[in-house]
Amino acid sequence: MTKEQVIKIFSEKFGNQTPEVYASPGRINLIGEHTDYNGSFVFPGAIDKGMIAAIRFNGTDKVRAYAIDLDESSEFGLNEEDLPKEGWAKYLFGVCREIIKRGGTVKGFDTAFAGDVPLGAGMSSSAALESTYAFALNDLLGLGIDKFELARIGQSTEHNYVGVKCGIMDQFASIFGKKGNLIRLDTKSMEYAYFPFDPKGYKLVLLDTVVKHELASSAYNKRRESCEHAARTIAKRHPEVEFLRDASMEMLDEVKNEISEEDYLRAKYVIEETQRVLDVCDALEKGDYETVGQKMYETHHGMSKLYEVSCEELDFLNDLAREHGVTGSRVMGGGFGGCTINLVKDELYDSFIADAKAQFKAKYGHEPKVYDVVISDGARKL
Ligand code: GAF
C-alpha cells in the first residue's frame, strides 16, 4: 500500500488532519538460524515488504488504532493494565509500554497501518510492526532512543506482551536494514558489518509453504530453554561460557551424560550453525556461492533432524531443490512452517519454480507462494 493510500484511509477513519507516515520492513536471513538467543551470529537483510503506518497524536491518553488489512479497530490506554484484547494491538501496546518503561513519555495517538509481509511465513511481520511504531514514536516524540534500543523495544514487546522469547535478529534487521546489503550481526557484542549482496548469475527466492503449525511459539520457547540449559551445564566446568556461542563441541561432549539427548542435539545444532555463519561470510567474500549453498543445505539438515523445527512440507521443498541441483536451500526463520530460502542459478530458476509449484500442489493441494528477494532499507519516515 502506498503512503497516499494509507493517508486516505487514515483520514476517512480519524478526520482530515494529515498524519505522518513511517515504514519498516520484514527480513530474510541467509544463514544463522536460532543462533540469536545463543549469543551467536546471524546474517539477515531487510526486504521490500513491510508495514506502513500513518500516525497522529490525538490530544488524549488513548491509542486508537485501525488495522487496515483486517478491517479491525482497537482502542487502549497506555497503562500496564490496559492490554488490548486484539492480538495485533498487543504489538502496538507493547511498544508503547516498553518506551514508557525506558523513561519515555508516550502520548495518545490515532493510527492506521497496513502491511505486505505474508503472515506466518517466517519473514517477520511482527518485527516490522514493532519497528515501525518504535521508530515512529521515537522520531515524533523526540525521545533520542538509539537504534539498538529501538530494536530491543521490539524484542521486549515479544517477550513481555506476546510471549515469544525471541532473539534480536528480526528487529535488528528491520531497523538497521540497508538496500543491497546483508548484515552479519554478532548478537553477543552487537557488532555488525554490512555485506553487499548481489550474487551475479543467481537469484534468491523464497518458497512459502503457506503452512503454519500450531504451538510454534511454545515450541520456540522450549528450544531456547534447551539451549540455555545446555549452556548453564557447560558453564559449571567452563565458567567462561555465557552462551552456547562460547562453547565448543568438545565442551558439549563433556556434559553429554548430564543433559537430555534432546538438549544435546539442540546444542549441537547451535554450535555447528555458529561455524556455518562464519564459513558463509568467508565464502561470500570469495564469491564462492557453491560453499554458501552447501552450508544452507547443512543448516536445513540440522534444523530438520537436530533442532526439529522443520516440517514435512518444508522438507519436501528442500528435497526438491536438491533434486533440481539448486545451489542452496533451507527452512528460513523460526520454522514450524513458513518458507524455504533458495539460492538458485538463473538458468535453473524457471524450471525449478514451475516444478516446485506443480509437485507441491499435487501433494498438498495448493501451490507454494513464490517471493523473489529484494534487499531493501530499514525503518524510515516516508
Ligand atoms: C524468529 C525469532 F524471532 C528470531 O529471533 C530468531 O530466533 C529466528 O526465529 C530463528 O533464527 O524469527
- pLDDT, tens only, 312-369: 999 999 999 999 999 999 999 999 999 999 999 999 999 999 999 999 999 999 999 9
Q: Known catalytic residue: 282?
A: no
Per residue in 198-213, pLDDT tens? Answer: 999 999 999 999 988 7
Do residues 189 and 221 both lie within one domain?
no
The arithmetic mean of pLDDT across residues 155-175, rounded, is 97
186 and 249 in a single domain? The answer is no
**Could you tell me if residue 378 is inside a domain?**
no
> Which of 162, 196, 230 is the C-terminal boundary of a domain?
196
Q: Do 94 and 239 belong to one domain?
A: no
The verdict on residue 326 lying in a domain is yes
Same domain, 315 and 246: yes
pLDDT tens track for 2-13 = 999 999 999 999
C-alpha cell read off for 303: 534444523
Average pLDDT over residues 112-131: 93
The last residue of one of the domains, among 140, 165, 196, is: 196
* Pocket residue to mutate for ligand 1, from 131, 166, 171, 300, most atoms within 8 A of Cβ: 166
Does some domain include residue 112? yes
Ligand 1, atom nearest to 32 Cα: 11
Domain count within the chain: 2
Please state the ipTM of this predicted complex.
0.99
- Per-residue confidence band for 121, with pLDDT thresholds at 50, 70 and 90: confident
The pLDDT of residue 122 is above 90: no
Q: pLDDT, tens digit, for every residue of 65-105? A: 999 999 999 999 999 999 999 999 999 999 999 999 999 99
Domain identity same for 192 and 206:
no
* Cα 36 to ligand 1 centroid, rounded to whole Å: 7
Number of alpha carbons in the 13 Å side-chain half-sphere of residue 288: 11
pLDDT of residue 214: 60
Per-residue model confidence as pLDDT tens digits over 147-160 = 999 999 999 999 99
Nearest residue CA, atom 5 of ligand 1?
A: 167
Task: Determine, yes or no, domain membership for 312.
Answer: yes
Q: Is residue 213 part of a domain?
A: yes
Average pLDDT over residues 365-382: 96
pLDDT (0 to 100) of residue 57: 97
Q: Which domain-ending residue is among 196, 226, 250?
A: 196
Same domain (yes/no): 154, 287: no
Q: What is the pLDDT of residue 244?
A: 98
Average pLDDT, the chain: 96
Q: Is the CB of 333 under 6 A from ligand 1?
A: yes
Task: Tell me the mean pLDDT in the region 273-295.
Answer: 96
Residue 129 lies in a domain: yes
- Give the closest residue (by CA) to ligand 1 atom 3: 166
Identify the pLDDT of residue 120.
81
Q: Which of 170, 208, 246, 263 is catalytic?
A: 170
Domain holding 223: CATH number? 3.30.70.890
Residues 60 and 176 in one domain: yes
Q: Are residues 188 and 212 in the same domain?
A: no
Residue 71 lies in a domain: yes
Q: What is the pLDDT of residues 355-365, one digit of tens each?
A: 999 999 999 99
Residue 172: CATH number of its domain: 3.30.230.10
For the Cβ of 130 lying below 6 angstroms from any atom of ligand 1, the answer is no
Residue 17: what pLDDT?
A: 85
Q: Report the percentage of the chain scoring pLDDT > 90.
A: 95
Cα(29) to ligand 1 centroid in Å equals: 9
230 in the same domain as 191:
no
Cα(8) to centroid(ligand 1), Å: 34
Q: Is the pLDDT assigned to residue 311 strictly greater than 90?
A: yes
Distance 62 CA to ligand 1 centre (A): 31
Query: Model confidence at 215, in pLDDT bands (50, 70, 90)?
Result: low
Give the percent of the chain with pLDDT over 70. 99
- Please indicate, yes or no, if residue 380 is contained in any of the structural domains: no
- Name the residue type at position 90: K
> Do 187 and 288 fall into the same domain?
no
**Residue range of the domain that includes 19:** 3-196
Q: pLDDT tier at 173 (50, 70, 90 boundaries)?
A: very high
* Claim to verify: residue 74 and residue 181 sit in the same structural domain: yes
The atom of ligand 1 lying closest to the CA of 169 is 5
Average pLDDT (300-315) is: 97
Residues 186, 54: one domain? yes
Say yes or no: CB of residue 211 within 6 Å of ligand 1: no
How many whole angstroms from 32 Cα to the centroid of ligand 1?
10
Q: What does the pLDDT read at residue 16?
A: 81
